[in-house]
Structure 1
Amino acid sequence: MTDTAHTLGTSRTLWELVERRAALTPDRPVLLQEDRVLTFGELRERAERCAAGLYGRGVRPGTVVAWQLPTRIETAVLSFALARIGAVQSPVIPFYRDREVGFALRESKAEFFAVPGVWRGFDHTEMARRLGARGVFEAYGSLPDGDPAVLPPPPADGTGVRWIYWTSGTTSDPKGVLHTDRSLIAGGSCLAHALHLTADDVGSMAFPYAHIAGPDYTVMLLLYGFPAVMFEHFALPGALAEYRRHGVTVAGGSTAFYSMFLAEQRKQPGRKLIPSLRLLAGGGAPKPPEIYHAVVREMGCQLTHGYGMTEVPMITMGSPDDTAEDLATTEGRPPAGMEIRIADGGEVRLRGEAVCQGYLDPAQSAAAFDEDGFLITGDVGHVTASGHLVLTGRIKDIIIRKGENISAKEIEDLLHLHPEVGDAAVVGLPDPERGERVCAVVEQPPGAGPLTLAGITAFLREQGLSVHKLPEQLEVVEALPRNDALRKVLKYKLRERYGPAGAATPS
């Protein structure tokens, strides 16, 4: 990390970080979207005017403001306007509907709710009214505006809870995760420290800004003073023109994004997909080693992958100067200040400034931390001699077959080596004789030949997988179920579909 970035990383609040960066490089761009450019100086000025407009509507320090907005320049401006006031923000992924949105509004006790109006054919304003939301206003093409002279001084303390993020709620209602300005700055600093970026880079945001990755990434821009291209709607090959036009050097998002870029690259293997691209980076889901090797080999750029969660936006991150073996098989190293403890059974536990303050529900908070204040992640792994973290799965992804523990990730990584497999998820299903049986669910790439259980098990045996770990059920699907943020596979849906309730017949 450069001296300037390190100094900026000591900012107490996000607004202080904005002011310090704007003073350093006011005319440099920070956000690019189609033909629009927002500079660091303009971000400060527009956010402060928006803050004044919000203040005129009754938003005060500590007021809870929910917003459900797409990845857009106005969204970032609104978010920093709320940071200028010291309000409590509750970002909601724009693809969520009545159930999730209603839950977030009720649990956070939001006094205001910013929506995009009709966006991608769905009327968010009408949904907000249907849910009885308070203080509903649209913030898409225009934002509240006012004279900054009315504003009180900006917040000076970055350790108070000013953010409520929501977990995906894949098995139950979402959890409201409590963050501070300092925990978000610490997370973004981890990302910036690992990637070795410079002011000459051009990043990209192809994920929802309302995801925890939004501030994570924006902190990195503020620390290093370089811009990012924002994609309100990301789809390939349509988005490639914007990557090329703006000369993006750093792209990514998650494993699903790597796979999408690879699929496009394979359509024209002799031509580099994005000529300026030198690095794919992301996290949010497991990365099979073969994906790393395929990106480096076929796309001609480096791939660094990290480990984060809503509760801790950045835990570890691969670095471009890591060895190929570490980049392929680990999640990178933690930054200074992030403590990793491997508890009994291999469970990963965390303590550090980037860790959340807990949950809205005090009972959930009490259960989330151990007696030494470490966050209990539910992930399983180990730390190598070089300090790199290797994740082997989640506790609930450990399949217990006839008393033997089986890692779903180990099988998934081997399945990705099969030429007729595009993506794969392995789950344990209840079985009266074995306790659990191993079920492999796979997507196939275009033009792939048929797959059979016998063929898959023969391939896995050739790769050296022990016989007791071989899948006993194979399901081939057109598309694995994924969430709307980082396209993470939703295994609970596979368990529901192929478990006792789904009563699918083994292939």
Structure 2
Amino acid sequence: MNDTARALGDCRTLWDLVDRRAGLTPDRPVLLQEDRTLTFRELRDRAERVAAGLYGMGVRPGTVVAWQLPTRVETALLSFALARLGAVQSPVIPFYRDREAGFALRESKAEFFAVPGEWRGFDHTEMARRLGAKGVFEAYDDLPDGDPAVLPPPPADGTDVRWIYWTSGTTSDPKGVLHTDRSLIAGGSCLGHALRPAPEDVGSIAFPYAHIGGPDYLVMVLLYGFPAVLFEKFALPDALAEYRRHGVTIAGGSTAFYSMFLAEQRKQPGEKVIPTLRLLAGGGAPKPPELYHEVVREMRVQLTHGYGMTEVPMITMGAPDDTPENLATNEGRPPDAMEVRIVDGEVRLRGEAVCRGYLDPEQSAAAFDEDGFLRTGDLGRLTDSGHLVLTGRLKDVIIRKGENISAQEIEDLLHRHPAVGDVAVIGLPDAEAGERVCAVVEQPPGAGVLTLAAVTSYLRAEGLSVHKLPERLEVVDALPRNETLRKVLKYRLRERFAGATPGP
């Protein structure tokens, strides 16, 4: 971390960080989107005018404001305006519909709800009215505006809960995760410390800004003083023109993003798909070791993968100068400010970037152990060098005849098979064995027919123990994924195949 980033990392609030960065590099760009450029000074000044407009609407320090907005300059302005006021923000992923959005509004007791109007064929304003939301206003092209002279002083304490983020809710109702300005600053500081961006870098946000990764990334941008390109809609190959146009040097998002970039690179081997790109970075889902080697070899860029969650936006991150072996096989090392403890195989965490708990007090009580460490539900181990290796989820362990089987171990091996594009390994109920191992495979274009016999023969040759071999294979056109970081939704696969006739 450079001296400037280290000094800014001591900022108590997000608004203090915005203000101090604007004073240091006022005319440097911070946000780029299509033909638009916003400088650090413009970010501060325009956000303050939006804050005054919100103040005129009745938003005060502590007012809960939910917003369900796409990744746009206006979204960042609104969010920083709310940070200037000291309001409590509840970002909602823009792809969420009545069930998830309604739950977030009810549980957060939001007094205002900012929506984009009709966006990508869906009327968010109508949904908000249908849900009985309070204080609905549209914030797409036009934002509230006012005279900053009316504003109260900015918040001074960064340890108050001012953010309610929502877990994905893939197996049950989402959990409202409580964050402070300081926990978000700590997360972004950890990310920057690992990636070591320079002022001449150009980053990118191709995932929903309403995801916990949004402020995580922008905090890094503010600490290190470089710009980021915003993508309201990310789809390849269409988005490649914007990456090239702005000279993006750091891209990524999650494992699915790496695979998509790699697929585009394979269409033009020998010519870099993004000429300026030097680093792919992300997290959010396991990374097969083979994918790391393929990206580095074929795209001629570095790939660093990390580990984070809504509750702790940055836990560990691979560093660009780490060894290829570490970058391929683990999630990197935690920063000094993050304590990692392995208890009965489970990863537990303590540090400033850890959330304050959940909206539901009972969920909060169950989430932390007696020493104040967050129970992540992830399984892992620390190497002698301090790198974290994730081996699966507590809920993703398949128990077959009393033996624990890691789904991730099988997935990593199958990902190397040429007829496998992506794979999810799940446990399905079995009257005799308890659970049986099922591999669900998404094949790459042009791949030949894949059979269970071929899969088990391959895994045997790779040295997998016999009791871990899949007993069932399902081939699907596409694995079901969420709309944020494109994580595979295994619960949908379990629902689909639990009672279905086995495939080949």
Q: TM-score range by the shorter chain?
A: over 0.9
Counterpart-to-counterpart distance in 2, 1:372 and 1:42: 44
Counterpart-to-counterpart distance in 1, 2:206 and 2:375: 29
Gaps of 5+ in 1: none
Q: Is the 8 A contact 1:84 1:155 kept in 2?
A: yes
Q: Is the 8 A contact 2:117 2:123 kept in 1?
A: yes
Counterpart-to-counterpart distance in 2, 1:9 and 1:321: 23
Q: Is the 8 A contact 2:66 2:89 kept in 1?
A: yes
Aligned to 2:116: 116
Aligned to 1:185: 185
Aligned to 1:494: 493
Aligned to 2:465: 466
Identity %: 83
TM-score, normalising length: structure 2: 1.00
Q: Is the 8 A contact 1:497 1:504 kept in 2?
A: no
Counterpart-to-counterpart distance in 2, 1:100 and 1:400: 31
Give matches, 1:249-264, under 5 Å: 249-264=249-264
Counterpart-to-counterpart distance in 2, 1:352 and 1:144: 36
Pairwise CA distance, 1:63: 0.1
Counterpart-to-counterpart distance in 2, 1:442 and 1:41: 49
What SS does the aligned partner of 2:454 have?
Answer: helix
Counterpart-to-counterpart distance in 1, 2:73 and 2:293: 35
Q: Is the 8 A contact 2:265 2:298 kept in 1?
A: yes
Aligned to 1:220: 220
TM-superposition CA deviations, 1:255-277 (whole Å, max 9, x none): 00000001111111121110000
Q: Is the 8 A contact 2:282 2:304 kept in 1?
A: yes
Aligned to 1:504: 501
Give matches, 1:1-400, under 5 Å: 1-344=1-344, 346-400=345-399
Give the aligned residue type for 2:162: R
TM-superposition CA deviations, 1:282-322 (whole Å, max 9, x none): 00000000010000000000000000000000000000011
Pairwise CA distance, 1:506: 4.2
What SS does the aligned partner of 2:377 have?
Answer: strand
Give the aligned residue type for 2:441: V
TM-superposition CA deviations, 1:413-437 (whole Å, max 9, x none): 0011000110000011111111110
Counterpart-to-counterpart distance in 2, 1:450 and 1:240: 32
- RMSD, aligned α-carbons: 0.6
Pairwise CA distance, 1:21: 0.2
What SS does the aligned partner of 2:448 have?
Answer: coil
What SS does the aligned partner of 1:455 have?
Answer: helix
Pairwise CA distance, 1:43: 0.2
Counterpart-to-counterpart distance in 2, 1:296 and 1:282: 15
Pairwise CA distance, 1:405: 1.0
TM-superposition CA deviations, 1:456-480 (whole Å, max 9, x none): 1111111111111110000000110
Counterpart-to-counterpart distance in 2, 1:229 and 1:80: 17
What SS does the aligned partner of 1:479 have?
Answer: coil
Pairwise CA distance, 1:205: 0.4
Q: Is the 8 A contact 1:431 1:437 kept in 2?
A: yes
Give the aligned residue type for 1:503: A
TM-score, normalising length: structure 1: 0.99
Counterpart-to-counterpart distance in 1, 2:188 and 2:240: 26
Aligned to 2:438: 439
What SS does the aligned partner of 2:479 have?
Answer: coil
What SS does the aligned partner of 1:272 have?
Answer: coil
What SS does the aligned partner of 1:281 have?
Answer: strand
Counterpart-to-counterpart distance in 1, 2:127 and 2:78: 21
Aligned to 1:427: 426
